[in-house]
A and B are shown apart, each in its own frame.
Chain A
């Protein structure tokens, strides 16, 4: 530690011993688009690191060393300008928008804006207009497909759902593997309070990622720091990369002559339609066979049905004639086996009349006792869904004077999902401002308040509360959705479902009416979140300033879940309240100095204290509810279950960096950070993160600088090591309370073995890259190769239960990620009226679990509710899907068993892996005068998923495959070999016919039958926009009017199983690749209008 401090002190202070003659230059930077001042423009003396950033008005003041020749003005999204200084003391410039990204500046770790060409690592940034094009409501959704190496899985059908984000693959066995979100220097919590069952697909709601609280309308730009090399200064939480968000700031309008306060507004409306549903069969109805409802026959002790008005009201006979079980001739109605939630029943559309489920109640007089024809309902599931709508309104005010500026923005999002009764409302207020308190002191603040309220998020996974579970897996295909909607509730308030326990017992056997599920068993939730900071900057000299600030993120999240009395499941009310507070107090010294024409030095030194406090209070009724419709814990039949949990964690950090530049061609950056974490044992709680990067701008070589076709070329190399701590309370043994047995308290030994010998885990990252631009920047190629290795992982590893414990916390394991990221940008056509821009990103990551703990070759991340598990297996990529495979002969043929079905392996085997081979995106933009058309294609290739819908959908005879090629009538001869009856031990081509029922059933036994490639090609975004020329608007107070048609997820191609979208993440955790009754993904389209006042 001492050495580190001395080293930093040296860096910090050695620079101060030089003094030089200086000139002060001031000026204003405005935009050619609207003439307004642009804040945040970087003003740098060419070939030095001397520079500053414009203030809110676009004004700057900079002391330049004597002999400086040029000033370079640069800003994200603007063309750079180089101005000769000469004798000028005031230099005003106007910047033009740019699409080339040559000498741009990017926001790097700790919010420091750096010249991109000086960086020794890969950073990709996305500007607001690119981000907002598709009008996504979440940052993750908006980034999908746009950044190379950023793998994002969403579920478009969920309102406010989670996104799984991976940058350069998964590095930690059971860490979250999610990047850190930083908004204007505020580390924003992105917890996902889903429980283990929700993650593994066993029910529960997807309450969405906390990062959904970031309002895209307030975002100015996003920088993605992809690896530890770029993110080392952020410490442990940045081991999986950082998504660095800069919000919009106020502008001073006075500079451009405009008066008063500036107003910008945006209004959008989007419509969502269900896009992908499984291929259902429409040939056979429910049950296994017809049932009969005899007119005169009744089991002993039961009054004859005809005396029972419920069976044959106002009728004197059944519809059909036959011989009843007593052997007497009798009449009967045909009855569906309502208690069976499968579809192996009678053929549809044969004109057969039968008794529908809604014919047994006098409350439904029009069908009471009636027969109806058995007809197919090919669109019944589709008809369940509504057209979703999203209205987004944003209005932002900006203004300010020389001394102070502000931006105040309000956004309202009102979204109705495609499921009946689902709504999400989000209101965000953002305020940012800064004021000069003196010549050298500036105070600033940034405050956000976000209120989210949702009702009726769809349930996920294998649970009756997820309507997709019966729809895809357990149902009867002849269901008439209109009737289900019409009769979902009886006048007396009781439920009414197709899945009757028996014709004379309406209690739901397994499944509630889907409308009952949606209207009665809904969840609701809300979150109030405040995040912001307050701080000051003190400029000691032009080359040295201190920023100190306190960042605070605080929210209260409230969730309520219910199961109404009368549902199949035990009635329930559950309420969870979670509060989280994270405070980061920090300071940062920044030093920038040029010592000669050739040599420049920048340095930073800072510290941070993070304190994070989390409270969870959950109450849940037990044994059912006493009163219907009353949702309060006090309504619990038995004593309610209480869960109270507190957690506190602190990390203290010191960090520093130094950047050396030589001749505008060679750059060297060194950083060092030290963390002390409260979660680790006292003598092991400190860890260092060193990083070093170097870059060489070879295009500055004399030999190359005159080449016309080469506009820029750089090679870079970087190395970093980051550490990571763990969750609190992993060190010491405890006992866990359970509910008392009467007056006897119950505690148990925990399931987990704790470990007071833990040490921090470590990631080593090495990356190389090249950045080359040609033809005036019209063609650019940025390639990065990286190799990352995470060791000493803190793993809560499963151990055999025979030890008396289920898991133990250890340091072990090694995961490597090696990959290539390519970003190709080009402008194939550029005329005065027309231009075509294209951006292609492509990334391939090769992940390998190199080792786990001693003697352990497999770590199970989770079991799916059925069949497969997701694993980290030594020698394989993270996320192996393991289950029972086909049994193969030595020459790789599938063996068919004595009944014509496939044989399966006795042991479980790897069946696939959830990691893609590569991901990519192609973004095309065509601009003709004021019209812009752009579209984004998102591609994923490789990786597999397991489909629970497919497994049960075939088991239950719901899917098209269970009728395809006349399998029900003729059976199927499976492709494979069978044992030759004449020569035991020898195999011959299979000729045994397997009946459709067994064929369906065996999808449950041979899990390999339900594993599919996760490939897709999606048309993610399509926009067609028109900007009204400002000269048309001189008479009206509006300016910059833009209207756009926007569409998202219009088409999906290339999936391996029709009707199941491989892009289905329902949580942000590590357990991916298990599809289970997915909420169908949607396509969206709509309009957007924006203007300034």
Chain B
């Protein structure tokens, strides 16, 4: 009996040792072998630079929102979005994409990214523990400056889309799970300050940064980009009752500090040909044919006899020499009754696998300067800036054309081996001199806005913002309007909100915010003038 007692006690101790005590390797076991815990910040920068604009460029945000609301494009079937009925899921996703990124990876879990990548770059280059290591990707200050510039660029788009947005309390992770919304009125001056500081922080002499797919690390160009974005912010708040003086000052400052001066300064990058580094619109058109170039845009380009037309759109499949716009905002039945082969699809240069997405182009700077000369008393000759803008845009499209590959797959049978001839200097001059384009001080603002609208293609969101600010071009089809087209006429009837307003002034908030940040979202809705979270509620700078 005694023996057995001993055995039992012995076994129990062995067991206790084996089981209870043996947890030393637990901590190590719980460190994932699947992902690293440290990386150089340059990898985050590439992600942010690629994706912020790629999200903006894809079939959902650009195709079914920006390019529709600006009436660059029309939907050829299932026309709900063109009739101002966005999908809840899309609003939810993109709201989060821009702030936090959200890519579904193969195992169904989510990648992050978005502006949080930029926030992390700033942190890694700021914290004493990490900044030494981080400087392997470039001088700390320069990395921080670039991250700040891109954030400003992004935040302006967000506030121009929605109005009130979380800004000062955003991107703080665990420190603030429900960021309050800031008014657009307060965000704008903050963005001006932020971008001014950021460009001042750049030390070109200290050296370039790594992971930069826009400028290859060239800090002088980042400085120009910062000043150009500052101009974009300023001009948008330049309406009479908004902040004309502030806008004028900021543009003068930015001009003095140096903004874009040629298309070589363009903040744009070319996609690579293969999935997933190809242009998102190129990927989409491999399986679906949802978009055609709108009748609004094509008629407008025809009216101006614009040589960019064959760059922006393809000829119809049935007759490649013919450019026919697809009427904007038809209902499903009406749209389906029209043949896609007899209408113009987006051009090869827009749909190519390598077609670039751009943050901002040089031509926009010229148009801003032209407008600032006219309205804000900036020193300079508006006409020169206006004409330089037009030429810059055409040169940009010439440049794209030279970089567009031949022979990729187009589902709509558009011939990808056909590209338009480059626009010659003589053609540019003739265009600038033509009746619909030639400088006329009496309608300078209209002319500038119209050319800016054309030059922004296919960056539909920006064109929609500008339309809402300036009211030009006055050709956009309005709700309730009956529009003739070749073969009949139709009436543009939006699906959700009633007919008593024009093109939407803003986008309504994603439903997810009601669930996840409800109190702050409700406070923002209450604070916004207008009748709530509606398309028709005007933004601060629209007054």
Contacts and interface: CB of A to CB of B under 8 A. Distances in A.
Contacts of A807: 110
A749 B118 CA distance: 9
A752 B110 contact: yes
A540 B4 contact: yes
B275 A622 contact: yes
Contacts of B100: 751, 801-806
A301 B50 contact: no
A748 B321 CA distance: 46
Contacts of A325: 487
A379 interface: no
A620 B106 contact: yes
B501 to A, nearest CB: 15
Interface stretch (B174-182, B187-195, B472-480): B174-182
A804 B44 contact: no
Contact of B30 (A289, A301, A729, A750): A729
A805 B173 contact: yes
A856 B516 contact: yes
A501 B342 CA distance: 13
Contacts of A654: 15-16, 19-20
Nearest to A882: B515
Interface string B99-132: 1111111111111111111011000000000000
Given A741-B277, A752-B110, A5 B103 contact: no
Contacts of B172: 803-804
B276 A652 contact: no
Interface string A868-883: 0001000000000000
Contacts of A750: 35, 110-112
Interface stretch (A157-165, A633-641, A986-994): A633-641
Interface in B57-101: 77, 85, 87-89, 92, 95-101
Contacts of A620: 106
Nearest to A674: B20
A885 to B, nearest CB: 13
Interface string A1044-1082: 000000000000000000000000000000000000000
A593 B369 CA distance: 97
A739 interface: yes
A535 B219 CA distance: 70
Interface string A770-805: 000000000000000000000000000011111111
A299 B287 contact: no
A871 B512 CA distance: 12
Interface stretch (B329-337, B360-368, B370-378, B423-431): B329-337
Given A652-B23, A735-B36, A741 B50 contact: yes
Given A637-B274, A738-B103, A997-B333, A805 B19 contact: no
A372 interface: no
A12 B411 CA distance: 76
Interface in A184-207: 194-198
B322 interface: yes
A455 B1 CA distance: 62
Given A637-B274, A866-B89, A747 B516 contact: no
A744 B35 CA distance: 18
A1032 interface: no
B289 A734 contact: no
A748 B44 contact: yes
A685 B37 contact: no
A291 B337 CA distance: 8
Interface stretch (A337-345, A596-604, A696-704, A836-844): A337-345
A33 interface: no
Contacts of B114: 801, 804
Which of B77, B104, B170, B516 has the most A CB atoms < 10 Å from its CB? Answer: B516
A213 B302 CA distance: 68
Contact of A652 (B20, B36, B104, B117): B20
A742 interface: yes
B256 interface: no
B111 A908 contact: no
B101 A802 contact: no
B274 A638 contact: yes
Given A325-B487, A742-B277, A645 B336 contact: no
B318 A339 contact: no
A609 B23 CA distance: 11
Nearest to B45: A744
A570 interface: yes
A302 B36 contact: no
B113 A748 contact: yes
B434 interface: no
Contacts of B277: 739, 741-742
B43 A746 contact: yes
B23 A806 contact: no
Nearest to B23: A676
Nearest to B181: A802
A908 B102 CA distance: 23
A577 interface: no
B173 to A, nearest CB: 6
A287 interface: yes
B35 A734 contact: yes
Nearest to B271: A741
A747 B22 contact: no
B142 interface: no
B275 A685 contact: no
Contacts of B512: 798, 800-801, 860
A648 B32 CA distance: 9
A907 B525 CA distance: 13
Contacts of A982: none
Nearest to B273: A638
Contact of B333 (A289, A643, A906): A289
Nearest to B113: A748
B31 interface: yes
A392 to B, nearest CB: 34
A348 interface: no
A746 B33 CA distance: 18
A9 B12 CA distance: 9
A244 B201 CA distance: 67
Contacts of B519: 855
Which of B27, B97, B119, B277 has the most A CB atoms < 10 Å from its CB? Answer: B277
Interface in A289-330: 289, 291, 299-302, 325
A860 B512 CA distance: 9
Contacts of A637: 274-275
Given A802-B166, A803-B177, A898 B498 contact: yes
B274 A639 contact: yes
B29 interface: yes
Given A16-B5, A654-B20, A800 B516 contact: yes
Contacts of A733: 37
A34 interface: no
Interface string A727-743: 01101111111110110
A676 B104 CA distance: 33
A626 interface: no
Which of B32, B165, B332 has the most A CB atoms < 10 Å from its CB? Answer: B32
A736 B111 contact: yes
17 contacts: A196-B109, A340-B336, A509-B289, A618-B106, A677-B26, A685-B23, A735-B39, A741-B50, A747-B39, A750-B35, A800-B512, A800-B516, A802-B517, A804-B171, A805-B112, A808-B174, A856-B516
Interface of A: 1, 5, 9, 12-13, 16, 194-198, 287-289, 291, 299-302, 325, 337, 339-340, 342, 344, 501-502, 505, 507, 509-510, 540, 546, 568-570, 587, 589, 605, 607-609, 616, 618, 620, 622-624, 637-639, 641, 643-650, 652-654, 674, 676-679, 682, 685, 728-729, 731-739, 741-742, 744-753, 798-808, 855-858, 860, 863, 865-867, 871, 898, 906-908, 997, 1005
Given A198-B108, A753-B174, 9 more contacts: A16-B5, A325-B487, A616-B107, A645-B107, A682-B26, A728-B29, A741-B277, A744-B42, A804-B114
List the 5 shortest-distance A-B pairs measured between CB atoms, nearest first: A301-B319, A801-B96, A195-B108, A804-B116, A638-B274
